[in-house]
Structure 1
Amino acid sequence: YLRQTPCFFWAPLPDNSDEPDTKKAKLTNPPNTIAELVKPAIQDLNPLLGECEIVPQDIDHLTADILADYSVICASHVTPTQLLALSQKLTPAQKLVWIDSFGWHGSCWFDLGAQHSYRPEQGKELLDPQPLQPHISISDMYQIPL
Structure 2
Amino acid sequence: MIRDMFAVRLDGQFVKRFIFLNWVLSGLLFVFFLACFDVKAAIGVAVGAIIANLNCIGLDRDCKRIVRWRNIFVYYAGLAVRLGLVALAVTAAFLIFPGYISPVGLFVGLSVAVINFYILVVVMVINRVRLKEAV
More helix per residue: 2
The TM-score with structure 1 as length reference comes to 0.23
Q: Which has the higher contact order (CA 8 A, sep 6+)?
A: 2
> TM-score, normalised to structure 2's length?
0.24
Larger radius of gyration: 1
| Structure with the higher strand share, 1 or 2 | 1
